[in-house]
Structure 1
Amino acid sequence: MDTSLEATVRELADRQQIEAALLRYCRGVDRRDKALMLSAYHPDAIDDHGVVVLEAEAFCDWAIEFHDTHNGVTHHAISNLTIDLDGDTAHSECYYTYMGTVPGGPTQLCFGRYVDRHERREGRWAIAARLCFNESVNEISPATLPEDYRRLLTSNGPQTLDRNDASYWRPLTIDPARRG
């Protein structure tokens, strides 16, 4: 392999590992999976989320408790990811969209950015420092749907906020009784 191809492959692998860490964070917080959330961070990482500034483990505990208290369901999604690589350090910015249902209240729809410093330590890329910029906090109303239809939309579960969720099933199977 020539050195330019090796460098390209290394850069692509680094970028993929950083993006995978960012996605693990999103999935982890939505599934309330602390181990998965923590896998996105180095243990001594600092997360400044605006409302709290905490080391990784304390931040994950806070985030899970916050969402358990205030949200029935959450969805964190990232987009517009840029990554600047510099050896074993990288800086990224990505936009996030956050939706959180509020029992008895309007659904929250928020937008912002994660600005992160990542470090490769012992071959593993993870977040070393995060600034979360909360740029827009909104409320939206649920769609008006017949109750029978709404029930059908959520009938293929389980949809849970933990490792019992169908997204953890290996192998994923579909109940044959649902066909027809």
Structure 2
Amino acid sequence: MTVEERLDELERELRYMKDRQAILDCIARNARGCDRHDAELLASSYHPDGFDEHGFAVNEGPRYPEWANAAHNAMSQQSLHNITTHSCEIDGDVAHAETYSVGLFLDPDGKTARMLAGRYADRLERREGEWRIALRRTTVDILLVGEAAFLTSEAFAQFGYLKGMRDKRDVSYQRPLTLERTSSDRW
């Protein structure tokens, strides 16, 4: 193999690795935007003409944050979208990804919680050098309901854990991150 051929191969491998990371970053940005109710961040994961399907609800990408925030507010007081197993096929400027997700939702009563496990089937496109979701279809494969009252017990309150916030008061937005008290609530 010539030096030029080796360099070409390395360049292809590097492009692939950068694309895979950019695609995973986009999917992670989507999950964080959902949990923090950060409409701008969430919308930035979709192309302006993209679509998101959650059951019978089909929303244009830029309108999805409004729908998602309202749905999450109606059914929970806290949520965590965890992305796990991820596979991706890249063909030029189009990629098809499957990402397993586990969504945890503390019910409005604070006494029960739900776990939805499913997958995101995404078609992503690179436009003007940026990967975003062109179409997302969501599955729910497992749904569990459990007791969660311990979160509001005196026994748990003594630990003083920070409570996630559904806006930019959340500790993850603090810059620089310090030990100073923030406006974040504690359990």
Normalised TM-score (structure 2): 0.87
Cα distance, 1:158 vs structure 2: 6.1
% identical aligned pairs = 35
Cα distance, 1:97 vs structure 2: 0.3
- RMSD over equivalenced CA pairs, Å: 1.9
Cα distance, 1:140 vs structure 2: 1.1
Residue type of the alignment partner of 1:76: H
Q: Which residue of 2 aligns with 1:111?
A: 117
State the Cα deviation string for residues 123-146 of structure 1 (Å, max 9, x = none).
Answer: 000000011011122201126479
State the Cα deviation string for residues 9-33 of structure 1 (Å, max 9, x = none).
Answer: 1100000000000000000000000
- Alignment check: 8 A CA contact 1:99 1:109 kept: yes
- Give the 3 Å change call, closer, same or farther, for CA 75–108 of structure 1 in structure 2: same
Provide the aligned length of Structure 1 versus Structure 2: 175
- Give the 3 Å change call, closer, same or farther, for CA 6–18 of structure 1 in structure 2: same
- Alignment check: 8 A CA contact 1:97 1:109 kept: yes
Which of residues 136, 152, 160 is equivalent to 2:158? 152
Q: Which residue of 2 aligns with 1:133?
A: 139
- Alignment check: 8 A CA contact 1:94 1:114 kept: yes
| Partner secondary structure for residue 12 of structure 1 | helix
2:41 is aligned with 1:25 = no
State the Cα deviation string for residues 79-111 of structure 1 (Å, max 9, x = none).
Answer: 110010000000000110001011225211111
- Alignment check: 8 A CA contact 1:158 1:164 kept: no
- Alignment check: 8 A CA contact 2:106 2:148 kept: no
| Partner secondary structure for residue 2 of structure 1 | helix
- Alignment check: 8 A CA contact 2:76 2:107 kept: yes
- Give the 3 Å change call, closer, same or farther, for CA 158–133 of structure 1 in structure 2: closer
Q: Which residue of 2 aligns with 1:175?
A: 180
- Give the 3 Å change call, closer, same or farther, for CA 101–171 of structure 1 in structure 2: same
| Partner secondary structure for residue 137 of structure 1 | strand
- Paired with 1:159 and 1:129, the residues of 2 have a C-alpha distance of 29
2:102 is aligned with 1:97 = yes
Which of residues 34, 37, 42 is equivalent to 2:42? 37
- Structure 1 stretches of 4+ with a deviation exceeding 6 A read none
- Alignment check: 8 A CA contact 1:157 1:165 kept: no
- Paired with 2:67 and 2:28, the residues of 1 have a C-alpha distance of 19
Gaps of 5+ in 1: none
Q: Which residue of 1 aligns with 2:89?
A: 84
